[in-house]
Amino acid sequence: MANIQITCPSCNASIDGDTSQSEFTCRYCGKTVSFGKSDAELQPKPDPAVMAQYSADMKKWKTLSAVIAVLKTVFSLGGWITFFMDNKFIMLSLALLGIAALLLFAGPPVIASNIPDGSTIPNSNISPPKKAKTGIEFFLLFLFIAIVCFFIGAIVLALH
């Protein structure tokens, strides 16, 4: 057992001890200091099985978000291209654009409401999901997709 001297992180006083001890108490400020362990090692860890489930849930949520975004793009692009192509496709165009509009307004709330909440996992440092912010961000993304698809349809008309 070797004698060691460490510095108190609270008051900078010198703390004497030996290597057989894992914790020392500062005689000046009373702070307990651990020897040989970082603060991260001393913190309790979340249950690995629960974290694995949260990770799987996040992966499913990201897949759901991507699928809805792709569907929004396909229906918007198809709707605008058929709208600008020929009048005989007007009913198909309106149906596709109707579905695209439904996805524009219903997609973001569905995506936002399904975000997994990891903040309820004990000992995790995961922040609660910002569902309103996520919904607004997806609405703006879907609106951008609709505008881009409109211009692509207009370009197809100009080239047609």
Mean pLDDT of 52-56: 94
Domain count across the chain? 2
Beta-bridge partner residues of 23: 34
**Does 2 have pLDDT greater than 70?**
no
**Does 129 have pLDDT greater than 70?**
yes
Q: Are 80 and 95 in contact (CB under 8 A)?
A: no
In three-state secondary structure terms, 14 is strand
Tell me, yes or no, whether 32 and 69 share the same domain. no
Tell me, yes or no, whether 74 and 24 share the same domain. no
Q: Which domain holds residue 24?
A: 3-42
Cα 103–Cα 105–Cα 106 angle in degrees, nearest 5: 65
Model-wide pTM > 0.75: no
Tell me, yes or no, whether 111 and 137 share the same domain. yes
**Does 127 have pLDDT greater than 80?**
yes
Tell me, yes or no, whether 112 and 155 share the same domain. yes
Tell me, yes or no, whether 28 and 106 share the same domain. no
Tell me, yes or no, whether 19 and 53 share the same domain. no
Tell me, yes or no, whether 122 and 53 share the same domain. yes
pLDDT value for 31: 80
Reported confidence tier of residue 42, pLDDT bands at 50, 70, 90:
very low
Mean pLDDT of 90-114: 95
Q: Are 138 and 108 in contact (CB under 8 A)?
A: yes
Tell me, yes or no, whether 90 and 150 share the same domain. yes
